[in-house]
Structure 1
Amino acid sequence: MPVPNGIEIGQEAPSRPCNGLISLERCRGPRLQRTKWGGVVDDDLRGSGFFRVSERNGVFWLIDPDGGRFLSKGVNTVRFDQDRIGRTERVPYAETCRAKYGSLQSWRAAASTRLASWNFNTVGCWSDEGVASAGSQLLAITPIRELGASFRLHRRDQIFPDVFDPEFAAHICASAKERCTLRRNDPGLLGTFIDNELYWSTDARGPDELLTLFLNLPSHRPGRVAAISRLQAHYRDISEFNAVWRTPARSWEELGRIGHVVAPFVRMPPGGLNDALETKANLADRAREAFSADCDAFVAVVADKYFEVCVSAIKTADPHHLVIGSRFGWQPPRGVIAAAGRHLDVISFNCYEFDPGPVIDAYAATGKPCLISEFSFRGDDAGLPNSKGAGPRVATQTERARAFQGYVVAALGKPNVVGYHWFEHADQPVQGRFDGEDSNFGTVTVDDRVYDELTKTMTRVNAAAERIHAAAVPAVI
């Protein structure tokens, strides 16, 4: 489709202010010279052989291995075998591509070249890494190593990995060595994701606090012992604690044996208007305020230990590459964001909103670069149920393309943003994948037909991205 006020494929945006309210017509400009990675050639920069981060005039950038100013424009789940139907072995997209391309390698080459033609430069999470070097242009890779999740699964009664367990650090170090060493000298590795959407606090998945989850671990688990020890250090005696928590325990020892500790209050998920409502509720109830403080203090300690151990383990196994976060699924408490900022090279988060601005601001408060690791929009005219899956639904593919443009241009107007990754490459099966999701997230259908309106818009916005971002106005602290 013709995008309103769009620019021609291959054209770049000029060095003038651009934001989400300004059309791409005003971001026209001559084609920029680019490195083989797709970064913009900058005579003031030199390559290190690996991706790194840099701040120029208050605006953050990735710097590619050859010294180009780089924004990671990615697509998730770029793979031949994307999405089995439910729990079956049927993969509709693979069936199509096997008949269309004849072989996995032919598909890789076609998919890689197509992504590059849309001005993407990165294959995101859960992608076939062979795609990155199979086409007409090199693409960066961003693997997810699931270090914390692997320890949580090692202890199946945990929702969040017990960072106080003496085996935690040893497990993370061994897992990082196993999973991160192979690519340590690979210039195409942009950075490593530690985990995906760990549960940090109340969010769409449930009302539990991390503190109550740790208090309800089996009595012998180090995490439960650590949680009780912190509470005991804070409160003078058990009666003062029970004035807030309302447990039946008559001693700290008895608290350690209680079968289930029930949180005395349920908080709203962090972020936006909820923060103001929580503040108001806490001012009206001192017990609630004390409970909130207990939960926030504990999750901040857990986050600091988690990021410290995981980042150190990855850097030991692979000292050359960036550690680009744990893909926050929902905005966590401030203490978690602060801990991430102390340890990570780049903070990554998923944001399924029309306007990512407020969420970006919450993470950018750390002063670290930020990567949007997942976002998308679903069109109701695609013939899919769209009954399960994250993010906004729109009526048509035209609206879907416009939503992409508005979102990305708004994000690039934020000086801390260094990339955005679309979820995902192909649509989900109409029958639903393993978790029931059945949505129009794709750049292509399960029949490998390109969504023309969406991808034309992606091509134009991606081409203009560096010019838009260069004009971002640094925040005034």
Structure 2
Amino acid sequence: MRRTKWGGVVDDGLSGSGFFRVAERDGVFWLVDPDGGRFLSKGVNTVRFDQDRIGRTERVPYAEACRAKYGSLQAWRAAAADRLASWKFNTVACWSDEGVASAGAQLLAITPIRELGASFRLHRRDQIFPDVFDPEFSAHIRTSARERCTLRRNDPGLLGTFIDNELYWSTDARGPDELLTLFLNLPSHRPGRLAAISRLQAHYREFSQFNAVWRTPARSWEELGRIDRVAPPFVRLPPGGLNDSLETKANLADPAREAFAADCDAFVAVVADKYFEVCVSAIKAVDQHHLVIGSRFGWQPPRGVIAAAGRHLDVISFNCYEFDPGPIIDAYSAAGKPCLISEFSFRGDDAGLPNSRGGGPRVATQIERARAFERYVTAALSKPNVVGYHWFEHADQPVEGRFDGEDSNFGTVTIEDEVYDELTTTMTRLNAAAERIHAAALPAVI
């Protein structure tokens, strides 16, 4: 295959626009690089010299090893870039040092994360999810987008912009809360709480009908706005897979549970539409050339959220720590947009690390780790909507644990910058064959 300077496959049927874009060919989605190459984003997260301080210290063991090995940051950047290119990666993915992208012989794309919604949530510290109904939300997002997205707006190497990372949309591994109950439990003056009550009031003709489902201690809509905490009357399973069937069965058996689920799903869909519309329009207002590649869903959200993402995003991104990504890819592909796996990994128990904290499956050996990568990527590329996959991460985590305690064998290299040969040899082979595998993907049947 002939390739462009970005690593895309030369395709006479595609033309370059000077920036990355998306295209669909015979029912299969692709990225198109600035020179018109048929492109899949093959990336590695956290490619950085200063990766992972040991928790509660200033020590960065990877930086210590690389300073001794390379002598300087710039020498490390060049070596890291050339090594990634030799493994046939073409993207310096999330949380990486963007200087790596142009430090080697091969140009690499970048995919920065701008944390627009998270910056507003932190601005309002009583929120778990940003209050999209707050009158200041839109202005804050527009200002943040101007500050964070203007610098790279003419950069051909910017593949696309991530809005946020792993926002809390619904019940998942982090907790049983629904977004609706989180908004109902905001302080009484917060616009999000008022909006949530208003939507429920519009749906239920009488407060007694609402309370027959929700079973709150309140006796009126006014009192609902004042009580300290609204407890969910039911706890739902996280969306996806067998859980959806179990939820359907439970709802059929209990009309009140079904009504509660409908309330939650309707509300989160409205929030998602507002969030994506505001964030995408704010980014596009200052950077019309580049793709907006989603908010890196950490766990599969309700269908209404995926549908809203599909209406506004250029590419839907999600993290998927499973052996088989197929079912989760199918769930996101239902929106009809290209999909990017923004994080996945496998940990080997023979690496000498605890592997006690961190996402994703554990396997016994580095050979099994390489095989898991091969099965995962082959399965992903067989899906017509997939346009890339980003491995987490570049170097192993400290044995003592990083800031959040993670201490796992996620790296393509050890913390001493020694290469995992079995894994990277397999990565090189799969990355080189990725376009051929993806071209054979069967178009989705709608």
**Is the pair's TM-score, using the shorter chain for normalization, greater than 0.5?**
yes
Question: 1:360-401 deviations in whole A, cap 9, x for unaligned?
Answer: 000001110000000000000000000000000000000000
**Corresponding residue of 1:336:** 305
State the secondary structure of the residue aligned to 1:219.
coil
From 240, 245, 249, the counterpart of 2:218: 249
**Corresponding residue of 2:96:** 127
From 40, 57, 60, the counterpart of 1:91: 60
**Corresponding residue of 2:49:** 80
State the secondary structure of the residue aligned to 2:298.
coil
Answer yes or no: is 1:448 the counterpart of 2:417: yes
Question: 1:323-349 deviations in whole A, cap 9, x for unaligned?
Answer: 000000000000000000000000000
Question: 1:69-90 deviations in whole A, cap 9, x for unaligned?
Answer: 0000000000000000002100
State the secondary structure of the residue aligned to 1:89.
coil
**Corresponding residue of 2:145:** 176
From 9, 12, 19, the counterpart of 1:50: 19
Answer yes or no: is 1:288 the counterpart of 2:257: yes
**Corresponding residue of 1:356:** 325
Q: List alignment gaps of at least 5 residues for structure 2.
A: none
State the secondary structure of the residue aligned to 1:61.
strand
**Corresponding residue of 2:284:** 315
Within a 5 Å distance, the mapping from 1:13-412 to structure 2 comes to 32-412=1-381
State the secondary structure of the residue aligned to 1:349.
strand
Deviation at 1:136, TM superposition (A): 1.2
Deviation at 1:204, TM superposition (A): 0.1
AA aligned to 1:438 is D
Number of aligned pairs?
Answer: 446
Deviation at 1:129, TM superposition (A): 0.0
| C-alpha separation in 2, matches of 1:471 and 1:415 | 9
| C-alpha separation in 2, matches of 1:88 and 1:131 | 26
| C-alpha separation in 2, matches of 1:428 and 1:396 | 17
Deviation at 1:40, TM superposition (A): 0.1
- Superposed CA RMSD: 0.3
Question: 1:80-110 deviations in whole A, cap 9, x for unaligned?
Answer: 0000000210000000000100000000000
State the secondary structure of the residue aligned to 2:284.
helix
Deviation at 1:45, TM superposition (A): 1.1
| C-alpha separation in 2, matches of 1:223 and 1:168 | 11
State the secondary structure of the residue aligned to 1:60.
strand
| C-alpha separation in 2, matches of 1:242 and 1:42 | 61
> Normalising by structure 1, what TM-score?
0.93
Question: 1:197-226 deviations in whole A, cap 9, x for unaligned?
Answer: 000000000000000000000000000000
Query: Identity, % of aligned pairs?
Result: 89
State the secondary structure of the residue aligned to 1:328.
coil
**Corresponding residue of 2:408:** 439
Answer yes or no: is 1:467 the counterpart of 2:436: yes
State the secondary structure of the residue aligned to 1:38.
coil
State the secondary structure of the residue aligned to 1:87.
coil
Question: 1:171-218 deviations in whole A, cap 9, x for unaligned?
Answer: 000000000000000000000000000000000000000000000000
AA aligned to 1:85 is I
| C-alpha separation in 2, matches of 1:248 and 1:427 | 50
| C-alpha separation in 2, matches of 1:351 and 1:87 | 29
Question: 1:17-37 deviations in whole A, cap 9, x for unaligned?
Answer: xxxxxxxxxxxxxxx100000
| C-alpha separation in 2, matches of 1:372 and 1:451 | 22
State the secondary structure of the residue aligned to 1:37.
coil
**Corresponding residue of 1:417:** 386
| C-alpha separation in 1, matches of 2:2 and 2:108 | 17
Q: More relative contact order in 1 or in 2 (CA 8 Å, sep 6+)?
A: 1
| C-alpha separation in 2, matches of 1:90 and 1:239 | 59
AA aligned to 1:58 is G
**Corresponding residue of 1:9:** none
Deviation at 1:301, TM superposition (A): 0.1
| C-alpha separation in 2, matches of 1:192 and 1:386 | 31
